[in-house]
Structure 1
Amino acid sequence: MSGQTSAPTPITRRGAIPTNVVTYKGRRIPARIDPEARVAYIVEIMSTSFATKEHHITLCLRDESDTLLTQNNLPSKVYNHDVLKLVPSAATEALVVITSLRSSARRGSLADSNLDLPTSSDGIPLKLALFNLQKYIKEEDFAVEFMLKGGMKMLVRLLERHEGGLGGNSLAYALQGIRGILEFESGWGELSDQFIDRMLNLVITASQPNVLKPATAIIRKLVISSPQLNAKDNNLAGLKMPVTPYGQTKKDRKGKSKEVTQVNQYGFDRIYNRIKYVVGDDDGTDHRGISGVELFFKVVVKRLEGTGDLELVAQSLGLINSCLRSGHQENSKQYPELVDLLERLSIRRYVSRLMPTSSNNVVEPQILTFQARYGVILQNTRLRPVRPGSTPVQEKMLRELWEYGRLGQPEQPSPGQMRKTGMARTAAGWKRIGLCQDGEEEAGFLMELEMFRDVGELGLESLHYFATHEDNFYNLIMEQQAKPAERRCPIGKASSECVKILCEHYKISQAGHHSPANFQLFLLNFSKLHQLVLRFFMRMWQESASQTPDFPKVSFLVRSQIRLSLSDEGNKTWLNLEQDFLDTEYRTIRDRQMELLEKEDGMMSRYGVRELRDKLGREGYEVLSEQRIGCMLQGGWFNSALLNVPGISSSVRPNAQKPLRFMRLSLNRKVIAWDQFSHRIENPSFEFLRERLDIASISSVRLQTGCAVNSRSPNLVSKLSFSIMGEGETSLLDLDAIHAAQMAEWTDGIRVLRGEGGMSSKESADYIHILAELALKVRLLDITGDGVEIPEKITFGAAPQSVDFVFAK
C-alpha cells in the first residue's frame, strides 16, 4: 500500500488493486490497499502517511458507518471502494470511557450529564462516553479493555443510584452497554441485588422505550442464566468468550473459571424473589410479597397492547416466555404461582390480540414460543393427578360440577334443593355423566382419583368449564338419562376423550422441544375449543344412533374432524370453526370417513401406542436437528436477496455483479462464514470465506422478505427468501434459497443453534412426522405380526411375600 498526493485513476483490469480514500481529522489521502495485507500493517502505514501524533497501535480503521476494519471484512471494503477513516482504536475508546466514568463516579448528582465538561484533556462528557460505550461494546477489544479496567463495576454503581442518577438518553446508553457486556462471560460478578432491583423498577416505572427495551432485555438475560440449566455446560449458548491479554480464552484455562461460575448464579428463582420486593409507586402502599409480583407482571402484560413499538412488545413477551421456560426447567416451586398469576392477568387474551397484526415481524417468534410454553403448561396440568382431598382448587371444581349437574338428585328437585351444598358425592351420581362405569364400587375419594386418570387436572378443568359455560348442562344430563342405558352418551368419558384427542393433535407432550410453525389461536383458548369439540362429539353420538360399544368409532370421527378443521388454523376464525363442528351434516362426515373407519382397527389409539409415538416423535426431532446442523456444516449456495419488505434495514448491500452467496457453519457451531461470488465454484472451506456472522448476534429469522438480486420480478417477494435479523429491525444477511428444503434446513438450523425452541417449518414438521410413523410401524411389526393384543391398561399384581420363588421361562 502506498500514499498518494492525488486520487489515482481506478484500475479495472484483472489483478488490479481497488482504490480507497482514507480520512483523518479532515484530511484525505487516496490509498491503494492490498486486500490480503494485515490490518495492523495498513494502520501503521496510514499513521505514517498522516504523520499522526498518536502511536499507530492506538489507532484503527473504520468505514463511514463506524464498522471496524478487520481481516474478515477487509477484502469486501477494498472491493467496494469504501471510504475509510483513521480513528482511535477500540481499546483507546474504552480507556476514554473509563476516565469519564471514574470522574463522574465522584460527583453526587449526574442529572446534568449531558452538560458535563471534561475534567482533563483525556476526558469527555459522560453522555458522550456512554454513547460510545453502547456503540462499541460489541467489539471484543473494547469489551475486554473496558472490563479489565473495572468499567463494569463503575457502570453498575452509576446505575444503582436512585437519587441523582442517570436519566434520559444517558440512562438508555448505559443500559445498552450493560446489555452488550452480558453477551460475554466476564463482568457478571458485578451485578448485585441492588442493581437487579434498579432494573426491575425501571421496567415498571420507566416510560421511554429506549430505556424499557434494554432494561427488559437485561432482566430476560438474567432469568435464563440459571445454575441448574448450565451446570453441565458452562459455555452458555450465545455467550462470547473474549480473548485475555495472555492470548487464552476463558475456556482454554484449566479448572473452573470464576467468571463462568458467576454467569450461572442468577436464574428464575433469584429474579422472581427480587420481583417480590419491588415497590411500584410512592403512595405508601406496601407492595411486598405476591402483590409486588402481580404489579410487575401486570405492567409487562399490559405493555403487550399499550404501545406501537414492536421491539418493546417482543421484549416484554420474551421476558414472560423466559420466566415460564426457566421456571419450568428449574423445577421451581414458584413456577405454579407464576402460571396462576399470568392466567389471572389474561395473558392469553393479550397474545391472541397480537396474532392478526404480528405475522412476519419481530413479535412473531415470541408468539410461537409462547404457544409452546402454554403447551407445556397444558401438559403439566394433564400430568397433575386429581387429588381433591389435598388440592382445594380441585375440590372446588368437583363440588361445582356436582352442583351444576345436580348429580345427587335423580328426580327433579324442588326449588329449595336446586343449589344444596355439602351433599356426599357418590358413584351413582358420577355415573349419570359417564364418569363412573358399571361394575365400579363406591370407594369414597378413591373413586374420584380414578375418574380423570388419563387426563389429570386438565380433564377436570375442561369438564368443569363445559358444565359452567353450557347453558343447558343439566338438561343434557336429563336428556341422556331418558334414553336406554346402552344409548346414553357418557358425557364425562367423552370429555376426557376430547381432551386426549386435542392434546395429540397439538402434540402437547412435545411442546417443550420445539415451537409450532404457525399461529394457533384456538390452542390458546383450549377450554373453549374443548367445549366445541365435546358438543360435536355428543351430536355425532346422537345423529349416528350410537351405543356404548360404538364409542371408539365416534371417537375416530371426532379425531378426523379435528384433523380436518384445524389443518388450516391460521386462516380460520371462531365462526368458521363453529360452522365446521356444529353445522356440518353427519352424512357428509360419515361419507368422508367411511373408508378410513373400515380400515381402522383401533390399535393406533391405544395408550401404549400413543406413548410410543410421542417418544419416537421426540427422537425424530433430535435426529432432524442434527441433520439440519449437519447441512449447515457442509455449507450451501444461495442467491443474494434484495429487501422488499418495509421497516427492515439491511446492513449488507447485495452486489449484482456477485449474485451468489455461500455460507458454512464453523465446527464449534458458533460462527457462520460467508462470501459473495460471481459464479459457482467447488464448495469453499470455512477458512476461505471472508465474512463472519456470530450466532450470538442473531436475534431471529424473518421469512419472505425479498427477492433474488437479479430477479426478473424485483417487486415480487420470493417465498424462499429469508433474512437473518440482528438487533431491532436490522437485517444481518438477506438470502434467497435455491429450494424449499434448503430454506428449511438453514432457517430451522439457526433456530436450533439459537435455542429458540427449535424447528418451526412445515417441511421439518412433516419429516418428524414421517420419521415417527416409520419408526412406529417398525417397532410394531414384532407385536402385530404375531397377533399380540396391546392392552389398554397394564395392571400390576401384588408384590411377592418372600424371595422363595423363581421366574418361569
Structure 2
Amino acid sequence: MDQADIPALLSRLASDEDAARKMAVFKLQSSINDPAFADVFISSGGLVILRRLIMTTGGNTVAYSLQSLSRLLEVDMGWDIFEGPTAGDLVERIVELIVTNPLVNILRGAMSILVALVSHSQSTPRTGAGAGAGTAPRSPGTFGFRALKPAVAVYPQFFEFVIQQLQSADHALCANALMLINALIRDAVSQENTGAANGAGAKSAGEDWSKFIKRLQDLGLIKAVYNLMQSSVLQDMAQPLLEFQSLTKILLRRWKDVRVDLERPEHRRALKGLHLASAPDRHHANAVPLRDELEGAKKGSRRHNPEKWRRLGFETESPANEFEVAGFLGMMDLTDYVRKNEDGFQKLLLEQSASPLNERCPIARASLAVTLILHDHFEVDRTELEDVKGYQGLDGTKNLDRLFRPLLLQWSRLHTAGLHAFFRLWKATGAGRDDFDKVGELVRILIGEVVGQAGRTKDVLEVEDDLQEYDCARLRELQMELLDLSFEDQWGAHLKQVREELKHEALQFVKEQRIRCLLDGSWFSKPLPRRDQHQQHQRQESLPQKRRLYEPKGWRFARLSHNRRFLHYADFADRAQPDPGLDALTEKVDLATISSVVSNVSAPSDEEARSESTASTMRNNNNSRDLAAPPPPSRSTTKITIFSYTNPDEAAAGAARGTGTGGGAGGGGEASEQAILTLHPLNHSLASEWLDGLLMLLSQAPITAETNKLVTLVSEYGLKIRLLNVRLESVYHGPPPGAGAVPDREGLDEDYYYEV
C-alpha cells in the first residue's frame, strides 16, 4: 500500500461501519511491517485508532487489529501504545481476550503481542522511528512481567489458559503460547539478577521467581512441554522448545547456586521436614527449633540427638554445610524424594539401622551424589549460545533428536530412579562406607548408558525400569570397557606394545595347553559306512553268541608321543579304562611327513555349547573321567583329516616350503597327497583342541574361534593384572633433583643472556 493512501486508510479505520473497518484493518496488517509505512502511520495518529479497534471491536476485526499491532512491534516500532495512563487498560483487554475468547486467530495475535511486551524489558532501549526525540525514559514497570501483574490479578486463570494452549492443534498458537511462557520465565529470572545486583530486595526477588516457576509447574507446564518434545510437531516448534530447554538449565543452575541458609524460613522448614519424615521418636520430634538445636549441639545440649542427621546419611550434624556443592537444588531433590516416598524412606532407614555402621548406605549423601551426576550428564553448565549453535548446525528432523532431551524435564523422576539404582548397587556389591565413590561411579556409568542412549521418544517410565533392572554384571563390563578407553587415551602407545607382547605370550600358553591335550590323548569315534554297518549287524545276529568274533571297531584312540614327533593311534571295539598307553597303540604317523590338516570344524550347536564346558573339564581331568555312558560314535559330525605326500621326495619338498594349513590342502603345489589318518572328535571343543594343536605343532596359526577366543581372554587378563600392579610412582617419578629450587642471587651481575 502506498504511503499516500494512509489518510484514506485511517478514515476507513475510524468509520462506524464494521465492514469498512474490517476491510481496512485487513489491508493494514499486510503493509504495517514496512518501517517507512509504519513511521508515517504512527506520526499520523494511527496508534490511537488501532488501540480503539482493539478495545472495542470483536471477531475478525479485532483479530486483524491484534495482528497489525504484533507486526508493528516486530519492527521495533509502536511501543508508545503501552505508555501513558491507559496502557494498563490495553494490557488488561489483551489478557481478557486470551481468557474469554476461543477463536484461534485472536489468541495467536494476543499472545504474540504479550510475548513482545514481556520480552521488551530484556532488550536494549529503543531508538529510531517511533521512539520520538526527547522521549522521557519509561518507568521500570511499563514492560516485562510487571506489566501483566495488574491484568493477571483481574484474571487469575490467565496462566492456566496459556498452558492449555500448549495442547492446541494449531501449531502457530502452540508456539506463541510457549514463547510467552519462555518470555515470562526469562523476565522473572532476569529480575532476580537485577535485584541481586542492586543488593536491596535480592532475597525477595529470588523468592518471587522461585514461587512463580513452582506455580507454572503445578499447572502442568512440564508435562505439556515434555509431550511436545516427544511429539511429531518438533520441527514446527523447534526454536521455542529449544529455548525452554535452555531455560530449564538456567533454572537448575540458579537453584544449584542458591546457598542453603538456615536463616531462611523455607530452608529451615525443608530440613525439619526431612527430620520429621524419618519417623524419629517423640522426644526428638518435639525438640527445640533446628537453628537452636544445631547451636545447642556445639554447646553439648542434652536434648540434641547425637546421630539425628548422620542417621539420615549426612556425614556430620551440620547438614546445611553438606549442601555446599549441590546447593538448594540438592535439597529440593532430597526433600522431593522423601515427600513422594515417605514410607519407603522410613523402611529404608529401618533396614539400614539393622546393618553394621560401616555397611549402611548414607541416603542423604547418595541423593546429593545423584543430583551432581544428573547435573554433569545433562551439561547444565553448558551455555545457551552453544545450544543455539548446535540447533543452527543441524538439518532435518532426524538430527533434532540429538539436540532435544525431553528427559531433562523429568529431573525429579530421574533423580528418584537414580537413587533407587544407587541403593540397589550398594546392596548388590556389598559395599561399605569406603566404597561410596566406587558405587557413585557405577551409577554415573549407568545413567550415562541408560539415559544417554535413550531416544527422544522413549518414555520416562521405560527409562526408570531400565535403571532399576540393568544387569550388574553388564554394568561392570561396561565400566571395564570405559576404563580401557581411558587407558588407551592416556597410554595408547605403551598399551599397544604391551598388548602385542601379551598376545604372543598368550599364544605360546595356549599352544602348550593344546599340545598337552594331544599328549594326554583322546578317544574318537570311528563310524562305519551305513551299508557295512547293516551287513555286519545281520551277520553277527545270525551267529551264536560265542561265535560273534568280528565285532566292529567303533573307537579310535590317539596320543602324541613324549618327544612330540609321532602321533600314535589304534582302533578298539570299546573304550577302555584307563586309557591305553603308547605301547598299545600299534599305528603311528610321523609329523614330519604331514603335508596338511583339513577339517570341517564349524560353530557348535546349542546342545553342544551347553555341555562343552563340562565336557572339556572332564576330558582334561584324568582323575574324574566318567566312561560309564559314552556317547554313540555315530553322532559325531566333525572330522579332521591328516594328509601326507605320496612319496618321500614330495614330503621333503613340502617340508622345505612349509606345511599346509587347516581347512584345505597346504602349500604342496601340484604334488599329490593322500589321507593317512581321519579323526572324528566327539564334540566341537575336542575338535578345536586337536585341530589347532596339530596346526601349532606344524608351526601354523590356530584357526578355530574357540582357540582365538581363549588367546584373547588370556592376553586381556594379563593386561588387567599388569595394570593393577601399576603404581603412581612408576608412572610419575616426580621432578628431577633440584627442580623448582629458587637459585641464590648472591654474586649475580648484569652479564647474562637468554638462550632461544
Q: What's the TM-score once normalised by structure 2's chain length? A: 0.55
Question: Match of 2:321?
Answer: 450
Give the CA deviation at 1:259.
6.5
Q: Does 1:315 align with 2:176?
A: yes
Aligned letter for 1:339? I
Indicate whether 1:339 and 2:213 are aligned: yes
308 and 384 in structure 1: CA distance in 2 versus 1, 3 angstrom threshold = same
Equivalent AA in structure 1 for residue 333 of structure 2? S
Unmatched runs of 5 consecutive residues or more in structure 1: 1-88, 105-109, 115-124, 236-240, 245-249, 251-255, 281-291, 410-416, 605-783, 789-809
The 5-angstrom pairing of residues 557-596 of structure 1 reads 557-569=442-454, 570-596=456-482
Mark the CA change 1:597 to 1:544 in structure 2 (over 3 Å): closer, same or farther: farther
Q: How far apart are 1:376 and its partner, in Å?
A: 1.7
The answer as to 2:18 corresponding to 1:113 is yes
In 2: Cα distance, 1:179 partner to 1:132 partner: 14
SS at match of 2:48: helix
CA offsets, 1:394-443, max 9 Å, x none? Answer: 3333223212222x44xxxxxxx599555766451211122134xxxx5x
CA–CA distance in structure 2, aligned partners of residues 169 and 318 of structure 1? 23
1:132 aligns with 2:27: yes
- Select 1:488's aligned residue among 341, 360, 370: 360
Partner SS state of residue 508, structure 1: coil
Deviation (angstroms), 1:260: 10
How far apart in 2 are the matches of 1:598 and 1:553? Answer: 17
Given that residues 97 and 107 in structure 2 are in contact (C-alpha distance below 8 angstroms), is that contact kept between their aligned partners in structure 1? Answer: yes
Shift of residue 140, structure 1, vs aligned partner: 3.3
Return the match for 1:387 from 230, 254, 261: 261
CA contact (8 A) 1:434 1:491 kept: yes
The residue aligned with 1:98 is 10
Verify: 1:299 aligned to 2:161, yes or no: yes
Q: Deviations over 1:181-231 (max 9, x none)?
A: 1123432113222222221221212221111111110011010111x6425
Equivalent position of 2:73 in the other structure: 182
8 Å CA contact 2:359, 2:433 repeated in 1: yes
Match of 1:275 among 151, 154, 159: 151
Letter aligned with residue 379 of structure 2: K
- Matching residue of 2:224: 350
Contact preservation (8 Å) 2:91, 2:148: no
Partner of 1:270: helix, strand, or coil?
A: helix
Match of 2:94 among 180, 185, 199: 199
Q: Distance in 2 between matches of 1:544 and 1:787?
A: 36
Deviation of residue 785 (structure 1)? Answer: 8.9
Instruction: For residue 309 of structure 2, give the secondary structure of its aligned residue in structure 1.
Output: helix
Shift of 1:367: 2.4
Q: Is the 8 A contact 2:333 2:367 kept in 1?
A: yes
Going from structure 1 to structure 2, the CA distance change for 1:303 and 1:586 (only over 3 Å counts) comes to: same
Answer yes or no: is the 8 Å Cα contact 1:378–1:508 preserved in 2.
yes
**Code of the aligned partner of 2:143:** G
- 1:396 alignment partner in structure 2: 269
Give the equivalent residue in structure 2 for 1:501: 373
Report the secondary structure of 2:441's partner residue: helix
Q: What's the offset of the Cα at 1:480?
A: 2.1
Distance 2:140 2:112 in 1: 17
Aligned AA (1:540): L
Change (3 A) 1:314 1:403: same
Q: Distance in 1 between the 2:18 and 2:481 partners?
A: 77
| 3-state SS in 1 of match to 2:180 | helix
State the superposition RMSD in angstroms. Answer: 3.2
Distance verdict in 2 for CA 1:142–1:366, change over 3 Å: same
Q: CA–CA distance in 2 between the matches of 1:206 and 1:452? A: 48
Give distance in 1, aligned partners of 2:209 and 2:461.
Answer: 35
Partner of 2:399: none
Inter-partner Cα distance in structure 1 for 2:96 and 2:286:
46
Give distance in 2, aligned partners of 1:556 and 1:485.
22
Write out aligned runs for 1:735-754 (5 A). none
SS in 2 for 1:428: coil
In the aligned structure 2, how far is the partner of 1:575 from the partner of 1:170?
47
Q: Does the aligned pair in 2 maintain the 1:388–1:395 contact within 8 Å?
A: yes
Pair 1:544–1:325, CA change in 2 (3 A): same
Choose which of 416, 434, 438 in structure 2 pairs with 1:549: 434
Amino acid at match of 1:430: W
What are the equivalent positions in structure 2 for 1:7-406 lying under 5 Å apart? 89-101=1-13, 103-104=14-15, 113-114=18-19, 125-160=20-55, 165-191=56-82, 192-226=87-121, 229-230=123-124, 234=126, 258=134, 266-278=142-154, 280=155, 292=156, 295-305=157-167, 307-331=168-192, 333=205, 334-392=208-266, 394-406=267-279
Within 1, Cα distance between the matches of 2:367 and 2:355? 19
Shift of 1:312: 0.9
Native 8 Å contact 1:188 1:262 kept in 2: no
Question: Identity of paired residues, percent?
Answer: 27
Say if 1:360 and 1:229 are closer, same or farther in 2 by CA, change over 3 A.
Answer: closer
Match of 1:536 among 421, 424, 434: 421
With 514-523 and 546-555 compared, the bigger mean Cα shift is at 514-523
Post-superposition CA distance 1:620-678 (Å, at most 9, x none): xxxxxxxxxxxxxxxxxxxxxxxxxxxxxxxxxxxxxxxxxxxxxxxxxxxxxxxxxxx
TM-aligned CA distance change 1:330 to 1:434, over 3 Å: same
Which has a greater percent of helix? Answer: 2
Partner Cα distance (1:787, 1:204) in 2: 71
Query: In the alignment, what sits opposite 2:312?
Result: 433
Q: Aligned residue pairs: how many?
A: 447
Q: Is the 8 Å Cα contact of residues 480 and 489 (structure 1) preserved in structure 2?
A: yes
Per the TM alignment, residue 595 of structure 1 is displaced from its structure 2 partner at its CA by: 4.5
- Which residue type is aligned with residue 480 of structure 2? M
Cα distance, 1:597 vs structure 2: 4.4
Q: Shift of the alpha carbon at 1:599?
A: 8.0
Distance 1:596 1:138, change over 3 A: same
Deviation at 1:369?
A: 1.8
TM-score by length of 1: 0.51
Post-superposition offset of 1:560 = 1.6
Q: 1:193 to 1:424 in 2, by over 3 A?
A: closer
Shift of 1:573: 1.8
* CA distance in 2: counterparts of 1:598 and 1:476, whole angstroms: 36
Deviations 1:437-470 (A, max 9, x none): 4xxxx5xxxx232131211222112112222333
1:389–1:185 CA distance, 2 compared to 1 (3 A): closer
Q: What residue is the counterpart of 2:614 in the other structure?
A: none
Q: Return the match for 1:472 from 330, 333, 344.
A: 344
Residue type of the alignment partner of 2:69: I
Q: CA deviation at 1:270?
A: 3.0
**Partners of 1:201 and 1:258 in 2: how far apart?**
34
Q: Give the AA of the match of 2:235.
A: N
| Runs of 5+ consecutive residues of structure 2 not aligned to the other structure | 196-204, 291-304, 389-401, 491-730, 736-756
Partners of 2:309 and 2:278 in 1: how far apart? 10
Distance in 2 of aligned mates of 1:488 and 1:149:
78
Cα deviation, 1:285-324, whole Å, max 9, x if unaligned, reads: xxxxxxx3xx21111112222x321211111111011110
Return closer, same or farther for 1:150/1:531 CA change in 2, 3 Å cut-off: same
Change (3 A) 1:154 1:265: farther
Residue 178 to residue 264, structure 1, CA distance change in 2 (3 Å): farther
